[in-house]
Each structure stands twice: as structure tokens, then as C-alpha cells.
Structure 1
């Protein structure tokens, strides 16, 4: 089974997400969430609007839109894969969000996943990625990507596959505040 960046993000939030959703096959029903649906709609529109725009100021020499990439553990659709002047490549992802002077870990994790996929599929190096905050006048933010960031994503993917393939019931998150809004809180052993 290949995973998505969402699997990695859920695992990092709480490893039991993986168990409930993919071992016990109890769905989360994220489609009911307005912000998720609205974000997908805006995301699709922004992709269409930006197809002809090349980001000269960040050194883009070529761009690949809507790239669906896979490797042995992960799969994902990247909004834009950018080839940069220095010979490296970078993922760019649109967010239906307002930039509030901090970058959420979930956004970083997604960029790290995409960086790993790009390196494996394009046989290149990824040192950074970019986010575009559509609700902040398309503010462009650069995120550094290290070798350790990409390795941590790979380790998470291996751990998730272990949970699924062996029906392993992992420890819950150590951040108990997360349990308050969890969709599995009523069935999870505290």
C-alpha cells in the first residue's frame, strides 16, 4: 500500500489515526468539513489561474503542474514542481489559508513528503519548497528542506505500513489536548 502526505500528517498527529482508519477501516468523514471542501475548490481555481505564471523572482526556469508522483511507500499530487536556476527542484503548494506569521507543521510535513517524491522521480536534489497562501494575496513562503526532513517522512511511512500490515495498536499521542477534537475520541482507549 502506498501512502499519501495526509497519512503521514495524521500519523504525526496521533499514530492511532492509522489504526482506526486503515486497520479497523473506520472513516473520518473529512468531506463534511466546510473548510476542507472550500479549500479544494479554491485550490483547483488557483491552479487554473496560475498555469501561465512563472515565478522569476525565485529562480524558476521550468514548471510542471499537477504532478502525480509515487515511490515504493508514498504517493501524492503536487500542485507545481519547479525546476530552479541552481539545478535543484522544489515543490510548490497552494493553501486556502491566511498567513499568520508561522508555518504549521502539517504544511511543512506535506512539503517534505513532496520533496522526497520529487527527488525519487526526477533524480534530483530538493533543498526547499514553497507555499502560496491564497487568502493573503497569494503570499509566497519558502521552506527549507533538509536530508533529515526527507528521512523522517520515510521513517513515518515505514511505521505506518508496520501498523497496517501487522494490525499493531500504537500508543496514542502524548498531547492529550488533541484528543478533544479527534473524530475517534469516542472509541479510543485513553
Structure 2
């Protein structure tokens, strides 16, 4: 049984045709590793080494698990930190090599929601929020609420991705046509 990463969900939500081109027709994206991705991984590794014992008591952290690779029924992913909070719930924490600009991007939110579902499935604890650390804004910590509607949206996206792959179904494109300009599949996609 195939499992999906947060990237699969994010790509699908951006445009469902990513799933078709990449996983039905098996046409790779050929995206080059960019500086931000490589630098982000380097900072991630440094944070894991430096912050092994540090608990963020200000947000109610009682215990944490670092660099957790989790798999579930339909998802899989590596969570930077899985936090056990004072109220008995849990939360994902993810480091971003980015500046905080008073906005939580949908991609970051979706990644946290995927991690929330994985934590609930693997640890049997509820997840109501997640945290982002913006390393290029003096390690600013931002809380992101996660509600059942968010989780349902990701579960539905995963189900649709599996349906596209299993049925070899060509999905509708995104309704936001500006996204097509930078798409790696723009030369082979029917507009």
C-alpha cells in the first residue's frame, strides 16, 4: 500500500494534475535542489544537535521526540519535533529556513496538518495545534491552530490522490491559472 508525504498533499492542493503527471504518467519534475532547501536541511541538523535537551516550557512542553519518522494508513513523514504538552495533547514543531512575514503559508499549514494526523495515528493523542520556527527571523516561534475541518481536508485530498492513481484519472486543473506559469508540467498540460 502506497503512503503519501506532505509534499504529495501540498502538490495536489496546488493543482491535482501534479498527481496525474508525476504518479500516473511517472514524469518526474526535475526540480533542482535549491539553496533554501539545502540550507534548511543544514539548519535542521544543527537544531537537532543543539536542542536535544531544551524544552519550550513557555508553550507547555513536557516532553519531546526529535526527528520522528512516522508512517500511517495513508501518510508518512519526518517531523522535526513531536511535543507532548501539559494538557495531554501533542503538537508537531517544524523548523523553516524562512522569514516570518505575518502570514502562515498554506504549504506550511498543510505540512503541520499532515504531521498532526500522523501524530494522532502513531501516539493516540489529540493534536489541536502545531508550531513553526522561522530561523531567519531570530527563531520566531509561531503557533498554528489545527481543527477537524483542516484534518478532513487533508484526508479527503489523500483519498482523491489515491483515486487518481488507481483509476488513471485525468483531474481538473487548478482554477488559479497564474499557478500554471511556473509549473514544471506547463508544456505538456492541457490548459
Q: One fold, TM greater than 0.5?
A: yes
Aligned residues: 190
What CA deviation, in whole Å up to 9, does each residue of 1:20-54 have, x standing for no partner? 11111111123432222222222222222222211
Determine if contact 1:30/1:36 at 8 Å carries over to the other structure: no
Q: Which residue of 2 aligns with 1:73?
A: 74
* In structure 2, distance between residues paired with 1:32 and 1:10: 17
**More displaced stretch, 163-172 vs 43-52:** 43-52
Q: Which residue of 2 aligns with 1:122?
A: 123
1:178 aligns with 2:179: yes
* In structure 1, distance between residues paired with 2:64 and 2:179: 38
**How large is the Cα RMSD of the aligned pairs?**
1.0
**2:152 aligned counterpart, secondary structure:** helix
* In structure 2, distance between residues paired with 1:70 and 1:62: 21
**More displaced stretch, 45-54 vs 116-125:** 45-54
Determine if contact 1:80/1:92 at 8 Å carries over to the other structure: yes
Q: Which residue of 2 aligns with 1:98?
A: 99
Q: Which residue of 2 aligns with 1:164?
A: 165
* In structure 2, distance between residues paired with 1:179 and 1:57: 43
Give unmatched runs, 5+ long, in structure 2: none
* In structure 2, distance between residues paired with 1:125 and 1:137: 30
1:154 aligns with 2:147: no
**More displaced stretch, 21-30 vs 67-76:** 21-30
Q: Which residue of 1 aligns with 2:13?
A: 12
* In structure 2, distance between residues paired with 1:51 and 1:151: 33
What CA deviation, in whole Å up to 9, does each residue of 1:83-116 have, x standing for no partner? 0000000000000000011010100000111101
**More displaced stretch, 96-105 vs 30-39:** 30-39
TM-score by length of 2: 0.96
* In structure 2, distance between residues paired with 1:139 and 1:78: 18
TM-score by length of 1: 0.97
Following TM superposition, where does structure 1 have runs of at least 4 consecutive aligned residues deviating by more than 6 angstroms? Answer: none
Give unmatched runs, 5+ long, in structure 1: none
Q: Which residue of 2 aligns with 1:38?
A: 39
1:141 aligns with 2:142: yes
